[in-house]
Amino acid sequence: MCKQIYLKLNQIDGIGIKSILQFRSFIKDNNIEISTLNNTDIVDIYKKLKSKDKRIKVPTIDEVKAKDEKAIKIIEDCTKFRIKITTIEDKDYPNEFRNIDTPPILYYSRGNHKALLENKKIAIIGTRNPTKRGKRLAYKIAEYLTDRNYVIVSGLAYGCDTFGHMGCVDNGGKTVATLPTDLINIYPKENIKLAEKILENKGCLISEYPIGTKLNRYHFIERDRLQAALSKVVIVIETDLNSGTMHTVKFTQKYGKKLACLTYPKEYSKYKSLQGNKVLLKKEDTIKISGLKDLEEL
């Protein structure tokens, strides 16, 4: 019942993570068992929240009822495709998510969920259009870290993400892919086989979106925060100044995680895909990676 209520709230337009967190705090502060709530109770609680925070939307009873069937359909779809739904109330919900200001109220996963719970997780991220050197280094760094029992976190995107995942699975390691789409309609389609290989190697795919969700450009930013949250260290292979990688960098800094960035020889200085590296490497708290030996400092 708890899962179904969160699924309903998550599907109502105008009800976001922060609003649901306030709802959650209210029922905990008032010792209310979430499984006892009916649709009218949910609306009444939101009315009380609204009285203290005018920004909060109060869903109508019809809006809440309309999501009953949707929630049931999501659960049925997940059962059919062996997708696990984890809510913020579950014991196997990652502690790293609990420590951020916008934790997923729930998320979907395929594969080895325990990979999410391992302590040694490092993200390998970067542009979709890296240099040949960037591709090779993303692969070699993932290979190196895999040999040392790290779980590699990335976003299954073209370029640096792809080579990070590949360097891990090709060497029998576990990797976590955070997706901007649902877990059936893999994006990009060209990486469907890579996603399958991740699952075969006891890795995990995760997403905040139920089956059938249309891709939205904001989904990329939302999934970027999950990469930063899960990882103890985030390694930037290559990034330009306007790359989506910079969203992950901002979340990494916001969450107080270690940020590492690759250095490149001078002949690469004019590449667009490395202009972000230049900026990051000027910051004192950025760990500079010039070779595999530097990874030992992580």
pLDDT for the residue numbered 269: 86
Q: How far apart are CA 154 and CA 141, in angstroms?
A: 13
Task: Say how far apart CA 211 and CA 243 lie, in whole Å.
Answer: 27
Position 297 scores a pLDDT of 82
pLDDT one-digit tens code per residue, 178-199: 999 999 999 999 999 999 999 9
Classified as helix, coil or strand, 296 is: helix
Report whether pLDDT(1) > 80: no
One-letter amino acid at 225 equals: R
Least confident of 102-116, 138-152, 267-281: 267-281
Q: Where are the alpha helices (DSSP H) in the chain?
A: 2-11, 17-29, 39-52, 61-80, 95-98, 114-117, 132-147, 160-169, 192-200, 217-230, 245-254, 275-281
Architecture, CATH, for domain 114-297: 3-Layer(aba) Sandwich (3.40)
pLDDT at 2: 87
Looking at residue 170, its pLDDT comes to 98
Return the ∠ at Cα 73 (arms to 71 and 74), rounded to 5°. Answer: 65
pLDDT, tens digit, 9 for 90 and up, residues 220-238: 999 999 999 999 999 999 9
What is the pLDDT at residue 208? 98
For residue 44, pLDDT beyond 80: yes
121, 118, 120: which is closest to 153 by C-alpha?
121
Query: In one letter, which amino acid is 203?
Result: G
pLDDT in tens, 8-25: 999 999 999 999 999 999
Q: Residues 130-150: pLDDT tens digits?
A: 999 999 999 999 999 999 999
Q: How far is CA 233 from the centre of its chain?
A: 14
Asked whether residue 109 carries a pLDDT value surpassing 90, the answer given is yes
Q: What does pLDDT average to over the chain?
A: 96
The answer to whether residue 46 scores a pLDDT higher than 90 is yes
Where do the domains of the chain lie? 2-80, 114-297
- The whole-angstrom separation of Cα 48 and Cα 56 is 10
Instruction: Report in angstroms the alpha-carbon separations of 216 from 67, 141, 220, 221.
Output: 21, 31, 8, 10
Q: 30 pLDDT band (50/70/90 cuts)?
A: very high
